[in-house]
Structure 1
Amino acid sequence: MMKKFLLSIVFALGILCSANAQLPSVTLKDINGKTVRTDTLSNNGKPFIIDFFATWCKPCNRELTAISEVYEEWQEETGVKVIAVSIDQAQNINKVKPLVDSHEWPYEVLLDPNSDFKRALGIQMIPYTLIVDGNGNIVYKHNGYTEGAEQELIEKVRELVNK
């Protein structure tokens, strides 16, 4: 009985701790070759969304395109920023900028060709989306994309902004 109680306490603490995890420190490059440390990503105290994608991932591309169609309104309403992180491997990295440009995605785009950032966050599958609050805490995680799922994202961001 006591063992089950202790296990449930440890499990609950694990959930609480992982719910407000900070971003790990991984050094990446942005789409223009500038070095960026992931633990310094921010949005001036406002929430931001990190969306992991790959050029070959159709659901990822649909998600980023769907967000881009409402992104301006989201920014006006909440000040949210989207950071797209490509996990394309080194040999395909040259396909990322043309894809971003062809879709006219207005996001900051980071390159994670060795999946270091993805691995540090324990991400298995893409698309994978995180919401980070204004204090740098990961407050929401979502795997996969179905049409309309971007509405859930903005609802979570609104909750943070209206706290």
Structure 2
Amino acid sequence: MGAHPTYTVMKGTDMIDEHKRKDLHEESTEKNVEVPIRRRTIYVSLIVLGIIIVAIAGSWYLQQSRGTGTLAPDFSLTDLNGDAFRLSDFKGKVVVIDFMATWCGPCRQQLPHLKVIWEKEDYGDKIVLMSIDIDPTESAETLRSFAQGFPYATWIWARDTANLGQAYQVAGIPKTVIIDQDGHIRFTHTGVTYASTFIEEIDQLLD
């Protein structure tokens, strides 16, 4: 008689184990496929995030340096003593403009840094410093009362009655603008400017 074909007889448990092995294999295969996909998703997300950060940083830099090297818009204001003045009156000197408001906390924080350059002996009459209140709702009396709270702040104080916030693109305060002896904007910064930065920028213009 011919030989019978050999079959492997699986018990019920063996069949279940075999199904489990198949399921585990399929699940493992799916996971192996999912991992590269997840990694690619993470990589793409990181790249997009990097692009966004670079764009924001670039926008911030442009905002900080916008107008640098251009001729500063001339203007005429009246200080708290009632004396009228024009920016062009100070040609030949370095002009530091501090755009501010009396309710602005960071504006108060900047005053001691302005004090440093105002009292720097080797600057003398080579610089002009002015704090200009750009809040149209604040009166001259409000500004005067504020300035009197800082006895050392004997520089020019004036209210913005010439719409300088728009002319100098003031999007936030305090905003500092430094103008050279020829009337060109050489430095702008939104936020507290520290004394060391003031000195560095002014020294470059006075050399």
- Return the TM-score normalized by structure 1: 0.75
Structure 1 segment 25-40 matched on structure 2, within 5 A:
25-38=74-87, 40=88
Q: Which has the larger displacement, 18-27 or 133-142?
A: 18-27
**Large movers: runs of 4+ above 6 Å:** none
Residue 9 of structure 1 corresponds to none
Equivalent AA in structure 2 for residue 132 of structure 1: I
Aligned partner of 1:155 among 179, 193, 200: 200
Once the two structures are TM-superposed, the CA of residue 112 in structure 1 deviates from its matched residue by: 0.6
| Higher RCO (C-alpha 8 Å, min separation 6) | 1
Structure 1 segment 1-163 matched on structure 2, within 5 A:
18-38=67-87, 40-42=88-90, 45-73=92-120, 76-78=121-123, 79-104=126-151, 105-113=153-161, 116-145=163-192, 149-162=194-207
Distance 1:26 1:70, change over 3 A: closer
Which has more radius of gyration? 2
Whole-Å separation in 2 of the counterparts to 1:27 and 1:157: 24
- Return the TM-score normalized by structure 2: 0.60
Whole-Å separation in 1 of the counterparts to 2:84 and 2:167: 18
Aligned pairs, number? 140
CA-atom RMSD in angstroms: 2.3
Whole-Å separation in 2 of the counterparts to 1:64 and 1:17: 24
Equivalent AA in structure 2 for residue 106 of structure 1: T
